[in-house]
């Protein structure tokens, strides 16, 4: 094996020398001929090897690649690993982080990924051993929600260093510094440490720090006290442990709460935030360039059928946070969870004083990148407003007009049809007004979406807005999540249709929409008044 290694190394040195000579030459044809000769020389050496020697040579080449590339390293130490676009992307991120650190840069990365998709195996269980192998005088620190898990991470790296370190990097583990929380590299200053996030990082420093899930479960993440504790530990004990001109902190986390550690750090400019949702919901921002609706790792059984079943099992709120990386604020942004009221078949009014159809219209076709059309039917009894029907779908212009006609037939007492006074809305009015009539071109009077939403919050705070329960509308949770996340929700078509209806009613019966700072303050003050 050493003989083969020496032969290849000698030939490699010859090639390096030849390349230096080539750079000094000006004749292109001569350069080309010389390069051909180099290629021929390498082939001639390999041609003289036996099959066993060729296999040994191949292994040497793989080991050299493993030192230079993190993806090649993972392939070498995990030969049976199932590679997907997701895992290749994670490996590329890790490779980039390490090489930027080696150049003297400071790198901060948040990786928000769904559970059970191989993030730990791809990053935490291998990256430290690769980094320390390349930089044996530097240190890597691993931390997690408890010591046992952090020690498992450290042990996974220890096993790789022990088995592959000498062949790939020319390093060995020091026998005198090898325990369940720490191993160091023989005759070097570096090593890998694994401690729980509440444990003893103080006194130790690292050029690479990986935090893999600082919360054990939803109870931990949803506790304001615990979230504050983890944030404080990060600032006092983790951030201050970075050392060296170049260093990196990688936070790998399944999202639980808007204000969890990933949420807090994401608001800081120095952090690179990479969220990889389980199901692609925005092809333009998807790191893997997936089409909308594609799952992350169908090769591992995480296909569309699995996603649908999982979403049903865990509920939309948990699915959106853990699997999509988009947790909603518990109380809500503008619309508060504790102000939402649901009606059932038993307490639904038998008749309404007024009914109306409100439409938020976009017609660009049925392609997934187009916005949704939202059509809602509302009924009013006194000051109470009931959402009776909701449609959210991508529609062509013809389909949209047909859908409005069908809803009008289903709810003949909904004589008023509210459409925003803009290009799309006017086109629908022009097309349908002579057929079903009753259209009202709503003009928001230069008030933006947020202003229109703030203007109608007193109706929620007073308990005047009623949404259907799940027995009546089994997808009502989707609308609730859109409400609570607004104005930061991915889609706001249904919120727009709702605020349009309520502001239209308010404008007709009370007066103009007011959305300046004084009104918003009044709306905030209104919260808490029990009616």
> For the chain, how big is the Rg over CA atoms in Å?
31
DSSP-assigned letter for residue 355 = E
Sign of CA dihedral 385, 391, 392, 395: negative
Whether pTM > 0.95 for this model: the answer is no
Binning pLDDT at 50, 70 and 90, where does residue 528 land? very low
Percent of the chain with pLDDT over 70: 84
Percent of the chain with pLDDT over 90: 58
Of 243, 261, 244, 264, give the one whose Cα is nearest residue 253: 261
pLDDT given for residue 363 in this prediction: 61
Sheet holding 465-468, edge to edge: 341-343, 465-468, 384-393, 373-381, 354-360, 416-420, 439-442
3-state secondary structure 409-426: HHCCCCCEEEEECCHHHH
Binning pLDDT at 50, 70 and 90, where does residue 2 land? low
pLDDT given for residue 4 in this prediction: 58
Q: Is pLDDT above 90 for 234?
A: yes
Model confidence pLDDT, tens digit, residues 159-189: 999 999 999 999 999 988 778 889 999 999 9
Binning pLDDT at 50, 70 and 90, where does residue 42 land? low
pLDDT given for residue 30 in this prediction: 42
Binning pLDDT at 50, 70 and 90, where does residue 14 land? low
Binning pLDDT at 50, 70 and 90, where does residue 524 land? very low
> Which domains, ranges and CATH numbers included, belong to the chain?
82-324 (3.40.50), 337-507 (3.30.420.280)
Higher pLDDT, 4 or 277: 277
pLDDT given for residue 523 in this prediction: 41
pLDDT given for residue 13 in this prediction: 62
Higher pLDDT, 209 or 316: 209
pLDDT given for residue 337 in this prediction: 86
pLDDT given for residue 328 in this prediction: 75
SS3 289: coil
Average pLDDT of the segment spanning 427-434: 88
Mean pLDDT of the chain: 85
Q: Is pLDDT above 60 for 292?
A: yes
Model confidence pLDDT, tens digit, residues 453-510: 888 888 998 999 999 999 999 999 999 989 988 887 778 899 999 999 999 998 887 6
Alpha-carbon span 327 to 325, nearest angstrom: 6
Structure tokens given for 40:
């021929």
pLDDT given for residue 33 in this prediction: 45
Weakest mean pLDDT among 157-161, 174-178, 246-250, 426-430:
174-178
Model confidence pLDDT, tens digit, residues 193-233: 999 998 867 678 999 999 999 999 888 998 889 999 999 99
3-state secondary structure 471-489: CCCCCHHHHHHHHHHCCCC
pLDDT given for residue 32 in this prediction: 38
DSSP-assigned letter for residue 302 = B
Q: Is pLDDT above 60 for 101?
A: yes
Alpha helix (H) residue ranges in 276-361:
304-314, 316-318
Burial of 207 (0-12, 13-18, 19+ CB in 10 A): buried
pLDDT given for residue 41 in this prediction: 59
Average pLDDT of the segment spanning 303-321: 88
Which one of 117-121, 248-252, 332-336, 425-429 scores highest in mean pLDDT?
Answer: 248-252
């Amino acid at each position: 094996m050493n003989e083969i290694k020496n032969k290849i190394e000698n030939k490699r040195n010859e090639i390096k020398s030849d390349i230096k000579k080539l750079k000094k030459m000006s004749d292109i044809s001569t350069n080309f001929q010389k390069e051909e000769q180099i290629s021929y020389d390498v082939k001639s050496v390999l041609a003289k090897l036996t099959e066993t020697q060729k296999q040994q040579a191949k292994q040497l080449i793989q080991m050299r690649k493993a030192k230079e590339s993190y993806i090649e390293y993972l392939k070498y130490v995990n030969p049976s690993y199932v590679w997907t676009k997701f895992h290749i992307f994670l490996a590329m991120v890790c490779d980039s982080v390490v090489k930027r650190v080696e150049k003297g840069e400071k790198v901060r990365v948040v990786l928000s990924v769904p559970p059970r998709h191989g993030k730990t195996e791809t990053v935490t269980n291998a990256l430290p051993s690769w980094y320390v192998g390349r930089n044996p005088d530097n240190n890597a620190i691993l931390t997690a929600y408890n010591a046992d898990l952090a020690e498992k991470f450290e042990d996974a790296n220890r096993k790789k260093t022990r088995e592959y370190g000498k062949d790939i990097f020319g390093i060995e583990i020091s026998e005198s510094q090898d325990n369940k929380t720490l191993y160091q590299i023989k005759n070097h200053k570096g090593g890998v440490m694994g401690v729980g996030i509440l444990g003893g990082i103080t006194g130790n420093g690292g050029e690479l720090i990986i935090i893999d899930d600082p919360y054990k479960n939803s109870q931990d993440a949803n506790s304001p006290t615990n979230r504050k504790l983890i944030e404080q530990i990060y600032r006092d004990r983790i951030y201050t442990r970075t050392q060296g001109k170049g260093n990196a902190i990688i936070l790998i986390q399944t999202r639980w709460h808007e204000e969890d550690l990933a949420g807090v750090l994401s608001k800081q400019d120095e952090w690179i935030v990479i969220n990889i949702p389980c199901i692609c919901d925005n092809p333009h921002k998807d790191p893997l360039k997936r089409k909308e609706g594609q799952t992350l790792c169908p090769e591992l059984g995480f296909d569309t059928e699995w996603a649908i079943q999982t979403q049903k099992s865990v509920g939309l709120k948990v699915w959106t946070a853990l699997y999509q990386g988009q947790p909603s604020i518990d109380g809500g942004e503008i619309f508060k969870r504790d102000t939402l009221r649901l009606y059932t078949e038993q307490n639904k009014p038998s008749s309404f004083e007024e009914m109306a159809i409100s439409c938020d219209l976009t017609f660009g076709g049925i392609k997934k990148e187009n916005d949704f059309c939202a059509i809602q039917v509302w009924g009013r009894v006194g000051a109470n407003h009931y959402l009776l029907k909701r449609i959210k779908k991508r529609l062509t212009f013809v389909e949209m007009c047909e859908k409005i006609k069908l809803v009008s037939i289903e709810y003949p007492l909904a004589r008023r049809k509210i459409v925003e006074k803009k290009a799309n809305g006017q086109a629908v009015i022009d097309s349908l007004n002579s057929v079903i009539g009753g259209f009202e071109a709503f003009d928001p009077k230069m008030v933006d979406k947020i202003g229109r939403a703030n203007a109608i919050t007193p109706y929620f705070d007073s308990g005047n807005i009623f949404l259907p329960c799940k027995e009546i509308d089994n997808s009502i949770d989707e609308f609730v999540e859109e409400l609570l996340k607004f104005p930061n929700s991915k889609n706001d078509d249904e919120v727009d249709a709702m605020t349009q209806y309520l502001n239209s009613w308010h404008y007709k019966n009370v007066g103009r929409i007011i959305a300046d700072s004084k009104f918003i303050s009044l709306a905030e003050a209104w919260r808490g008044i029990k009616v």
